[in-house]
Structure 1
Amino acid sequence: MKREYGIARCGLACCLCSENKTCHGCNSGECPDKDWCENRKCLIKKFYEHCFNCGEDCRKGLLTKIKPYGFTLFAKRYGQEMLLDCLERNEKLGIVYHREGINGRLR
């Protein structure tokens, strides 16, 4: 787990992704999908860093996917650090959230 990559704006776990070797997470500004990401555009417009910081219960963009939506709900309730702690613990226990070719992105 690359904890420093954190959680993407939409709730994807960038910290667990091995898909793109040149990306250092959503919040690094290096995400290859940043120009089309509906969640990123919305958050920039509203001056929020993450969907879990927003008071709305929305299902647009990547929040239509179960994992980002679930991670967002968890972070809203318990905070990003607790989410990262749980993901790290679960990864050590062998739980796989991300597999090559299967991802939470829309494309």
Structure 2
Amino acid sequence: MKRELGIARCGLACCLCSENDHCGGCNSGACPGVAFCENRRCSAEKEIAGCWACDSRDCRRGLLQKIKPRAFNEFVRRYGLKMLLDCLEENEKNGVVYHRAGIRGDYDEFDDTESLLAFIRTGKREGRTEL
């Protein structure tokens, strides 16, 4: 995990992205999506750190159409940015996969925000027994 890359303005984890070997993260201006990222543009115009700091909680612009960035933003609202980074780092150490080229990650397997929030906190899926 490259913790110094942090969380993108949309809520995705630059610190765990498979692109982070050649990308300086969302706020570096070197992100491959910098020219077209609606969430980056919007939060910069509003002069806020990211979508989690926005008053528009029901926004579905850009990447907020997907559950993972919406849940990551909600996690930051509830528990803070540091706790999100701490949980992601701990989960990675315990084998939780964010994503890799061609592989859906463990955080992508949810269709319910509250279940995903619980998974971020614990690294365990509710209702599943560990082998």
TM-score (norm 1): 0.89
- Describe how 1:1-107 pairs up with structure 2 within 5 A: 1-19=1-19, 21-57=21-57, 58-102=59-103
Query: For the pair shown, which has the larger CA radius of gyration, 1 or 2?
Result: 2
Deviation of 1:21 after TM superposition, in Å, equals: 3.0
CA RMSD of aligned residues (A): 1.6
Q: Which moved more, 1:83-92 or 1:46-55?
A: 46-55
Give the distance between the partners of 1:28 and 1:64, measured in 2 at CA.
24
Residue 98 of structure 1 aligns to a residue whose secondary structure is: coil
- Kindly indicate whether structure 1 or structure 2 has the higher relative contact order, using CA contacts under 8 Å at least 6 residues apart: 1
Deviation of 1:102 after TM superposition, in Å, equals: 4.8
Give the distance between the partners of 1:92 and 1:54, measured in 2 at CA.
31
Task: Number of aligned residue pairs: give it.
Answer: 104
Runs of 4 or more off by more than 6 Å in structure 1?
none
Give the distance between the partners of 1:72 and 1:40, measured in 2 at CA.
13
1:2-27 deviation line (CA, Å, top 9, x unaligned):
00000000001000012253211101
Deviation of 1:101 after TM superposition, in Å, equals: 2.7
Unaligned ranges ≥5, structure 2: 105-131
Give the distance between the partners of 2:29 and 2:19, measured in 1 at CA.
16
TM-score (norm 2): 0.74
